[in-house]
């Protein structure tokens, strides 16, 4: 079962993290380091939440690829 209090706390941490914001990448979309930082820093700031996101996203994306 998902601990929603933990998710809420981690989402707050994502909003105030210093590095890895989408806005950094949007300023320099050619900068692949900014793109990578979006994923790396979100996992550092919110490992519990991002673990749940990836646990749902990855199997769904694989299933959709196999079905197309």
| pLDDT of 54 higher than 90 | yes
pLDDT of 3-30, one tens digit each? 999 999 998 888 888 787 888 889 999 9
Instruction: Count the neighbouring beta carbons within 10 Å of the beta carbon of residue 35.
Output: 16
**Domain definitions of the chain by residue range:** 4-67
pLDDT of 28-53, one tens digit each? 999 999 999 989 989 999 999 999 99
Cut 0.85: pTM above it: no
Question: CA 3 to CA 49: how far, in whole Å?
Answer: 9
């Amino acid at each position: 079962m998902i601990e929603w209090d933990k998710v809420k706390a981690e989402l707050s941490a994502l909003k105030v993290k210093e590095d890895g914001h989408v806005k950094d990448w949007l300023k320099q979309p050619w900068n692949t380091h900014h793109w990578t930082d979006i994923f790396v820093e979100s996992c550092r700031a919110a490992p519990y939440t991002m673990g749940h996101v990836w646990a749902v996203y990855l199997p769904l994306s694989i299933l959709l690829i196999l079905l197309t």
